[in-house]
Structure 1
Amino acid sequence: MLKQINFNMIRLFKYSSLLTLFIVLNYSCSSNEAEPETPLSNAKAITSFSFVNPAVTGTIDENTHTIYIAFPAGTNLTSLAATFATTGAKVTVENVQQISGTTKNDFSKAIIYTVIAEDGSKQDYTITPPSSADILGFTFEDADQEIYWELKGLKEGVNTIYNAPMSVNFDTGFPILPVGAEVTAAGSNEESDYNTTGFTFTVTSADKKTKKTYTIKIPVYNKDTNPYGIYTPEQLLDPTYNLKESFKLMNDITMPPVDGTEYPLGPNYANQGWTPIGDFYSFVGTIDGNGHVIKNLTIKRGSSEDIGFISVLGAKGVIKNLGLVSVNVTGGGNVGALVGNNKGGTISHCYSTGNVKLEDFSVQNHVGGLVGINNDENAKPSKLSNSYSTANVTAGNNSYAGGLVGYNYLCILQNCYATGSLTGTYKNGGALIGKNACEITNCYATGKVVTGGGLVGFNFHWSAAPDCFWDIQTTGQSTSDDGGKAVGKTTAEMQTGTPYNSTWTSANWKFTAGKYPTLVGVGGQ
């Protein structure tokens, strides 16, 4: 009996131990599951603003984002530390981070506190003493009385402003004044005034002790020397209606979400997102990104062809110095983040990140991370140079998919790379180019390819890829259909930090040990 009891106790202990172990393991696995990410906050307000010595509290106007401060007479305003509270992640003045109660600034003039939210968005607050006649800005309104263009950083005297946006309504221009200040103008506030002698106005401070005179001169548009400026998402529409003109981005642009909310950004933006520039018509002007980026570009047109930021780039079209960040682009044929169909145009110093997808509804079944198809127009080949893509590409049956270009038919292509992955049931895929029909030089690829080539998926018209390379480990491919001149290397060999050969020069490439080469003069790397 005693032996039986002991045996039962041992068996009970054994099973209870296993149960305890199972519970612990199960809890451990559950606790290691990824927590859902909390969206970054866009809060960016200053909720209080004051000084200890002298004891002064500012009045915050959230409508104009200004803070009015009445200092006692005789206060030395040139070195004061403000005490403030904010809902943002940090506060800066002229890019210097501010510590509440510690960082000193000159409050004898208008000063701008910039609140930066967790998500990176910003809000400016302008602080002005009663003696300030410093202009805070100058705005032009559109037909709906919304700000179409705002000039900042104006100084006393003549201010010559280049790169005005297209269709500025000059007679709606007016200054943003310090609290209590008044303005008198000398001019008719018409376009001819701004373009010739300039529009002049005088600001008198709230205490009537200071006067300053400003002149704004805006030279007329010139395609080569003074292209139209693009400052807002709405102004990105201007090239669509002016396919032969020149444009220049003047700041980074974040596109609104495609979530059912309508924005004045073309037909059915709420559900389909961006309408490609030209929408099947060739853009033959110039867009200079000026080193800036367009963020969160979304296009949902799964049954349409020639889909990208630009639909068709014509033989005289030029796109340069532009980054597309976090794109989400879907089309039915000739799909690329930047250009759907490049028909003889020139692309240089551009890049894309995010996701590009081909729904495969068309015979034009080409998709690339940057360009859908590089073609020619009137025997003029396209040009693509010093550009890259990290976008992940997804394609369906019978399609040609490339990390950079879907189908490179007639194109001078050099000094480019791609690192995005290729997935789907595509017919031919290459980490750089899906289908290639011309010579490419000084390019490389590293993106994962489920099936296809490490550099080129399908060689057409006896094309070649001299001085080109791919990573056989990261692509998962030991071969490339490129005429036999491209070379597959291991990751270590690709990351030696030295030029791959004499054609890989420091004018185009930067080499760093332990990393893949990066392009000189191209952002986002």
Structure 2
Amino acid sequence: MLALFITVGYSCSSDEPVNEGPTTSSSKEITAFSFVDPAVTGTINEKEHTITVVFPADVDLTSLAATFTTTGAKVTVGSVKQISGTTKNDFSKAITYTVTAEDGSTQDYTIAPPNSADVLGFTFEGDNSQIYWELPALKEGENVFYNAPANIEFITGFPILPAGAEMTEGGSNEESDYNSTGFTFTITAADGKTKKTYTIKIPAYDKITNPYGIYTPEHLWMPNSYLTSSFKLMNDITMPDVNGTDYEIGENYANQGWNSIGNFNTFQGIIDGDGHVVKNLTIKRGSAEDIGFISVLGAKGVVKNLGLVSVNITGGGNVGALVGNNQGGTISHCFSTGKVVLTGLSVQKHVGGLVGINNDENGRPSKLSNSYSTVNVEAGGDSFAGGLVGYNYLCILENCYATGSLTGTYKYGGALIGKNACEITNCYATGKVETGGGLVGFNFNWSSAPDCFWDIQTTGQSTSDDGGKAVGKTTAEMKTGTPYNSTWTSANWKFTSGKYPTLVGLGGQ
């Protein structure tokens, strides 16, 4: 019995676990690494034990606090214990985060400074350190940019760089350098090793081959100071609202909006819209004459390939969305939408959806072709009002149309032209006219309108004072989708069944 008791006791005691004391962890990983300001997240390479962080441009790297999570007991940089989201370090230099596990073992994570020497963009400043012109990202080597805006200050140019990078070598920022050999500079990355060299060349202005570029509303105002120069829109432009906030776009933009190019002086240069549009053009100058995007267009002046969208224009006399007073200039492939109002406070009581008055300069007639307007025209003061032109005098006008309505107290009104004193060809009109002509309101100087048409139903007018050659049609007849006659060619017009004809090469239709 004694022997059995001892044996059983021994067997039970051998199954009890041995108490070796508390265990310690050897885990020492950084599992997440980011920043709140700037809001960026690092990429952790656990195999190489590195952390890569791409910072935005213009960030001061010398004092940033990282937010991190770790499986270790503590994290240090050198001898400084790191508190996530609180402890700041200089990330413009190589930095090592050391993670210490519970068992005392350690693991280093290296964060190298950014090694990008890319140029993210290049800006030229204007007044009050505002950006006047910004170039896109540059490629290493030579970069050539045409169509610089007028009045650029070349000495204000500087690159937009990745965080920590800096320009370590640079030439002269003089205009002649940009125009000839180019401005050359070297960028060194934050790592102090990576370098790239760039050259920016901006060829000098040429009226024919390299006109001034228009990129912003401020640039759009530049033709006012360069009345004989050439300009080209490089993108669509939206004008700021007229709400009491002033902008450097002419006089008193805050309350009266756009100040017409030329401001009663004659514009003799070229504006090529290049298929782009200007949106939200607003003018509130009800007592002034020659009101529009351009005040007076001279015999050498040209406006082409430009759209004005959602205009809101009020003027006293000679009012049009595009040109108030066209004195021998050339307009082609342009259009306008929105609203134009004539108060009639001036003796020049002409208003049109596109042009207020087409006139001549020293016997040279104005030219208006391949253009249209959907502007609603509101007239006052016994004026001459037209959906396209208010008064058409000594002008070559062809391949145009108007669809806007005509309302108010006008003396003579026409869905296309209020008062006409020249021959017009291949044009049509469809806009509602309260009283007046379906195409022309008043025929002056034995003018005529061969190969022209109007919609007698939509205009509400069965007659037109145009010399007897224009033809009124029903809506169905206007929308047959076939040319009205042999002069209406596919080079200028597109015909679609069930729709009015549209012009070739013009947007917004």
TM-score, normalization by structure 1: 0.76
Task: Tell me whether 1:226 sits opposite 2:180 in the alignment.
Answer: no
Task: Tell me whether 1:72 sits opposite 2:56 in the alignment.
Answer: no
Q: Deviation digits for residues 11-36 of structure 1, max 9, x if unmatched?
A: xxxxxxxxxxxxxxxxxxxxxxxxxx
- Alpha carbons of 1:136 and 1:458: their partners in 2 closer, same or farther (altered >3 Å)? same
Q: Distance in 2 between matches of 1:133 and 1:473?
A: 67
Counterpart of 2:346 in structure 1 is: 362
Kept in 1: contact 2:338–2:375 (CA 8 A): yes
Q: 2:389 aligns with which of 405, 408, 426?
A: 405
Kept in 1: contact 2:345–2:381 (CA 8 A): no
Deviation at 1:69, TM superposition (A): 4.9
Aligned residues: 415
Q: 2:453 aligns with which of 469, 491, 505?
A: 469
Task: Tell me whether 1:134 sits opposite 2:127 in the alignment.
Answer: no
Deviation at 1:397, TM superposition (A): 3.1
Q: Deviation digits for residues 372-429 of structure 1, max 9, x if unmatched?
A: 0000000000000011110100001321100000000111001111110000011111
Task: Tell me whether 1:265 sits opposite 2:249 in the alignment.
Answer: yes
Q: 2:499 aligns with which of 515, 519, 525?
A: 515
Task: Tell me whether 1:157 sits opposite 2:180 in the alignment.
Answer: no
Counterpart of 2:4 in structure 1 is: none
- SS for the counterpart of 1:193 is helix
Aligned 1:315-326 pairs, distance under 5 A = 315-326=299-310
- Alpha carbons of 1:316 and 1:201: their partners in 2 closer, same or farther (altered >3 Å)? same
Task: Tell me whether 1:332 sits opposite 2:304 in the alignment.
Answer: no
Deviation at 1:60, TM superposition (A): 6.4
Q: 2:288 aligns with which of 304, 308, 311?
A: 304
Q: 1:456 aligns with which of 440, 462, 467?
A: 440
Counterpart of 1:289 in structure 2 is: 273
- Match for 1:243: what amino acid? L
- Alpha carbons of 1:168 and 1:305: their partners in 2 closer, same or farther (altered >3 Å)? same
Aligned 1:172-191 pairs, distance under 5 A = 172-191=156-175
Deviation at 1:183, TM superposition (A): 2.5
- Match for 1:401: what amino acid? A
- SS for the counterpart of 1:350 is strand
- Match for 1:309: what amino acid? F
User: How well do the aligned residues superpose, as a CA RMSD in angstroms?
Assistant: 1.9
Task: Tell me whether 1:277 sits opposite 2:261 in the alignment.
Answer: yes
Q: Distance in 2 between matches of 1:206 and 1:192?
A: 31
Counterpart of 1:421 in structure 2 is: 405
Task: Tell me whether 1:238 sits opposite 2:222 in the alignment.
Answer: yes
Aligned 1:494-513 pairs, distance under 5 A = 494-513=478-497
Kept in 2: contact 1:70–1:130 (CA 8 A): no
% of aligned pairs identical?
78
Q: Distance in 2 between matches of 1:387 and 1:210?
A: 55
Q: Distance in 1 between matches of 2:210 and 2:425?
A: 34
Task: Tell me whether 1:374 sits opposite 2:358 in the alignment.
Answer: yes
Higher gyration radius (CA): 2
Counterpart of 1:391 in structure 2 is: 375
Q: Deviation digits for residues 250-304 of structure 1, max 9, x if unmatched?
A: 1111111111221111211111111111111110011111111111111111111
Kept in 2: contact 1:69–1:130 (CA 8 A): no
- Alpha carbons of 1:391 and 1:413: their partners in 2 closer, same or farther (altered >3 Å)? same
Deviation at 1:68, TM superposition (A): 4.7
- SS for the counterpart of 1:412 is strand
Counterpart of 1:250 in structure 2 is: 234
Kept in 2: contact 1:68–1:179 (CA 8 A): no
Q: Distance in 1 between matches of 2:34 and 2:244?
A: 43
Kept in 2: contact 1:277–1:309 (CA 8 A): yes
Q: Distance in 2 between matches of 1:411 and 1:321?
A: 19
Deviation at 1:131, TM superposition (A): 4.2
TM-score, normalization by structure 2: 0.78
- Match for 1:70: what amino acid? G
- SS for the counterpart of 2:43 is coil
Q: Deviation digits for residues 107-137 of structure 1, max 9, x if unmatched?
A: xxxxxxxxxxxxxxxxxxxxxx944333211
Deviation at 1:57, TM superposition (A): 5.4
Please say which of residues 131-140 and 279-288 is displaced more in the overlay. Answer: 131-140
- SS for the counterpart of 1:239 is helix
Q: Deviation digits for residues 340-367 of structure 1, max 9, x if unmatched?
A: 0000000011111110010011221100
Structure 2 segments unaligned to the other structure (5+ residues): 1-30, 48-112
Q: Distance in 2 between matches of 1:496 and 1:132?
A: 62
Please say which of residues 318-327 and 151-160 is displaced more in the overlay. Answer: 151-160
Kept in 1: contact 2:352–2:386 (CA 8 A): yes
- SS for the counterpart of 2:129 is coil
- Match for 2:433: what amino acid? V
- Match for 1:251: what amino acid? N
Deviation at 1:55, TM superposition (A): 6.7
Q: 2:416 aligns with which of 432, 438, 441?
A: 432
